Amino acid sequence: MGLNVLWLQAGGCGGCSMSLLCADTPDFGALLRNNGVELLWHPALSLDEGPGLPRLLEDCLSRRIRLDALCIEGAMLRGPNGSGRFHVLAGTGMPMIEWVRRLSSVARHVLAVGSCAAWGGVTATGSNATEACGLQWDDDRPGGLLGAGFRGLDGLPVINVAGCPTHPGWVTDTLMALAAGDLVQDDLDPLGRPRCYADRLVHHGCTRNEYYEYKASAVKPSDLGCTMENMGCKGTQAHADCNTRLWNGEGSCTRAGFACISCTEPGFQNPGHGFHVTPKLAGIPIGLPTDMPKAWFVALASLSKSATPKRVKKNAGSDHVVLPPVSRKTGLR
């Protein structure tokens, strides 16, 4: 039967669509079609314009066209004063939030594509003058535009494909799983994120893991060492598979030398400190691995630092490998 997908752009930068175009395939359109995904409309990929979109939306509302998956990119702008008039869908005179409410009521599934659509994200930063929120979450509080109790016609809550931006594979895998009928409640984590990527940590597969193990830390951006202790990296807390499902087939934030800012999590946009800073209490990072008691971490860190090989310690504070691993006969069989 296929999965009819309608994609609308709300309050955001369009970065998730830009990322989507980097899907690991030479023919993006064929990837979707061959897996039963039919794109009814997308703001950057569709040819229809002018009166074409409002007609399509009305056809979906009247169920003349079956709406299987409503994908929303960008935050819900409820301002000013809850009117939604900060964002009116061009050519309709109706606020986007009202279109989303109506279309969600006839959609089998509703997807929040990106952290802005999921939680409010960067659009809701600071004083949040636009009253931005996510579809079913307002930062880390259930609710959002549609309410905590919302369910699509097939019984699932909003599927939060969170990230800033999303990895193209997270989006295509989710859509293809829905098209195949293979995505159920148990495939979503407690925040509604697809577990195909949210059951991993950015820490998994990080090329700096040897430095992390020995607590050999970077102190400036060009250093090779682990960026958790001094430079704000949240890779041990961030739910995503960025270092095992590489971006554009070869990269990730940490591989490029940048700390993970945990962009798949609610509230990442307002950490209360610089993204490049690791807040500490009595010299111990506040943000420790999610499932590790602090006392254990302190004991392990102390032991690890005392056992750090000279090679690891030297290389951690350099922008290139100064001391390579010692080459010697190991006696391995």
Contacts of 265 (CB under 8 A, 6+ apart): 115, 162, 237, 238, 239
Structure tokens that stand for 248 in this block: 């554009």
CA–CA distance from 206 to each of 162, 203, 250, 318, 323 (Å)? Answer: 20, 5, 12, 18, 20
Give the predicted TM-score (pTM) of the model. 0.92
Q: Cα separation of 50 and 53, whole Å?
A: 7
Output the pLDDT for position 100.
98
pLDDT for res 327: 79
Residue 56's CB is within 10 A of a number of other CB atoms, namely 18
E strands along 47-153, which residues?
Answer: 69-73, 76-77, 109-113, 132-133, 137-138, 141-142
Q: What was the pLDDT predicted at 102?
A: 98
The Cβ of residue 72 has, within 10 Å, a number of other Cβ atoms equal to 29
Question: What DSSP string runs through 129-185?
Answer: TT-EE-SSEETTEE-TTT-TT---TTS---EEE--TT--HHHHHHHHHHHHTT---G
Q: Identity (one letter) of the amino acid at 98?
A: E
pLDDT of residue 332: 63
How far, in Å, are 49, 61, 128, 284 from residue 18 at the CA level?
A: 20, 28, 25, 38
H or E element at residue 25 = none
Q: Name 157's Cβ contacts closer than 8 Å, sequence gap at least 6.
A: 136, 150, 151, 188, 192
Looking at residue 45, what is its pLDDT?
85
Torsion, CA 57, CA 61, CA 67, CA 70, rounded to 10: 60
Phi/psi zone of residue 331: left (φ > 0), alpha (ψ -120 to 50 degrees), beta?
A: left
DSSP code for 325: P
Say if CB 127 and CB 109 are below 8 A apart.
no
| Residue 323, CB-side half-sphere exposure with 13 Å CA sphere | 10
Q: Given the structure tokens 């009166």, which residue do they identify?
A: 51
Q: Which domains does the chain have, with CATH numbers?
A: 3-197 (3.40.50.700), 200-319 (4.10.480.10)
So what's the pLDDT on residue 50?
A: 63
Query: How would you write the pLDDT of the chain (333 residues) with one tens digit per residue?
Result: 789 999 999 999 999 999 998 888 878 888 889 999 999 999 988 876 667 899 999 999 999 999 999 999 999 999 999 999 999 998 899 999 999 999 999 999 999 999 999 999 999 999 999 999 999 999 999 999 999 999 999 999 999 999 999 999 999 999 999 999 999 999 999 999 999 999 999 999 999 999 999 989 999 999 999 999 999 999 999 999 999 999 988 899 999 999 999 999 999 999 988 989 998 877 778 877 777 777 777 787 778 888 888 999 999 999 999 999 887 776 666
Using alpha carbons, select from 132, 2, 118 the residue that is nearest to residue 69. 2
Instruction: Provide the β-strand partners of residue 201.
Output: 239
Predicted confidence at residue 295, as pLDDT, reads 76
Residue 163's pLDDT is: 98
